[in-house]
């Protein structure tokens, strides 16, 4: 089966080296029918990229926020009847086999609505991007407490006990590389909540996707995420992160969140069962 894949990338003062890198990754991948580049920057210097390939659609947009920009592409992808849509960060890059591998797996598993491959730093170190749905204390511990005090809680939150060697179905995965079934987005009207200008929009959309299908971590293929935590370096970005977290917990609940408890218990049980099976196999 030949699946049509659409891809969206949002730029905002993005370095040219990053743009060229992700551009190559997408254009080298088979099956991509449209590559949306939504530029929230004040100038449109990257419009020239449309000359590189007929599949590129460049949109110079007012800076309405990360999720709002991607929603433009998601709506067009739905209208174009693409099979899968990838939301990708500009600091990600990958080999040509990644998108076809994800599409092939989802072709064979219609209950899967989202996939995240293994994500590595440029030096090959694993990024732990499978998570529980966050409680306020999870974000506070990760951001403000020294690592020696928060390690145990962080390990649980990022499901490190799983080993990250096998597939799993967490309710919360990184938004750096969101490979989604477009028909699911259409059927359930799943878009980014535009109340989140920046940060937590991925947590929110992932949660809604997890309600209607499997959201899988798939370590058979990997991507590189040249990631720097901007909210850890910039007071302005930290404030934006806090504002978005407040909106998220106002939406779902600060303390009493039965859906969070249910989804988290399911993945913790899945991880525990996997560990038990592994220990029995080792004998």
Q: Where are the domains of the chain?
A: 5-282
| Helices first, then strands: H and E counts in the chain | 10, 10
pLDDT digits (tens, 9 = 90+) for 231-244: 455 788 888 889 99
Q: Among positive and negative, which fits the CA dihedral 187, 59, 33, 208?
A: negative
- Is-contact 73 185, C-beta < 8 A? no
State residue 1's pLDDT score.
Answer: 46
Check pLDDT > 90 for residue 125: yes
Q: What is the mean pLDDT of residues 75-84?
A: 98
Runs of H (alpha helix) within the chain: 16-27, 66-79, 98-108, 136-144, 147-157, 182-187, 201-212, 230-233, 235-252, 258-282
pLDDT digits (tens, 9 = 90+) for 140-166: 777 766 777 778 899 999 999 999 999
State residue 231's pLDDT score.
Answer: 45
CATH class of the domain at 5-282: alpha beta
Q: CA 204, CA 208: separation in Å to the nearest integer? A: 7
Q: CA 118, CA 95: separation in Å to the nearest integer? A: 13
Q: Which two tokens stand for residue 90?
A: 């500009």
Q: CA 99, CA 87: separation in Å to the nearest integer? A: 12
State residue 22's pLDDT score.
Answer: 99
State residue 2's pLDDT score.
Answer: 59
Rg (CA), the chain: 19
Question: For residue 214, what are the β-bridge partners?
Answer: 112
| Burial of 276: CB neighbours in 10 Å, binned 0-12, 13-18, 19+ | exposed
Q: CA 169, CA 173: separation in Å to the nearest integer? A: 9
- For the full predicted model, state whether its pTM sits above 0.75: yes
For the chain, the average pLDDT equals 94
Q: How many CB atoms lie within 10 A of CB 37?
A: 25
- Is-contact 223 98, C-beta < 8 A? yes
């Amino acid at each position: 089966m030949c699946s049509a894949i659409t891809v969206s990338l949002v730029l905002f003062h993005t370095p040219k080296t990053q743009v060229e890198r992700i551009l190559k990754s997408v254009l080298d991948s088979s099956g991509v029918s449209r590559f949306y580049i939504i530029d929230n920057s004040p100038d449109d210097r990257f419009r020239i990229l449309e000359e590189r390939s007929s599949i590129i659609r460049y949109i110079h947009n007012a800076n309405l926020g990360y999720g709002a920009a991607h929603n433009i592409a998601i709506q067009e992808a739905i209208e174009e009847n693409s099979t899968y849509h990838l939301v990708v960060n500009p600091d990600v890059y990958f080999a040509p086999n990644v998108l076809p591998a994800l599409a092939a797996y989802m072709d064979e598993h219609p209950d899967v609505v989202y996939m995240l491959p293994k994500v590595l730093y440029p030096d090959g170190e694993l990024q732990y991007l499978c998570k529980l749905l966050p409680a306020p204390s999870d974000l506070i511990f990760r951001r403000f407490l020294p690592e020696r005090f928060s390690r145990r809680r962080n390990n649980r939150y990022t499901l490190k006990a799983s080993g990250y060697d096998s597939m799993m179905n967490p309710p919360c995965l990184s938004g750096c590389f969101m490979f989604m079934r477009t028909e699911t987005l259409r059927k359930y009207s799943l878009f980014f909540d535009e109340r989140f200008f920046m940060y937590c929009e991925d947590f929110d959309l992932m949660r809604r996707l997890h309600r209607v299908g499997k959201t899988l971590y798939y370590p058979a293929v990997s991507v590189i995420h040249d990631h720097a935590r901007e909210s850890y370096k910039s007071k302005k970005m930290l404030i934006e992160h806090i504002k978005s977290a407040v909106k998220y917990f106002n939406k779902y609940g600060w303390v009493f969140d039965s859906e969070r408890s249910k989804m988290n218990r399911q993945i913790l049980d899945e991880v525990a069962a996997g560990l038990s099976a592994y220990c029995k196999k080792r004998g």
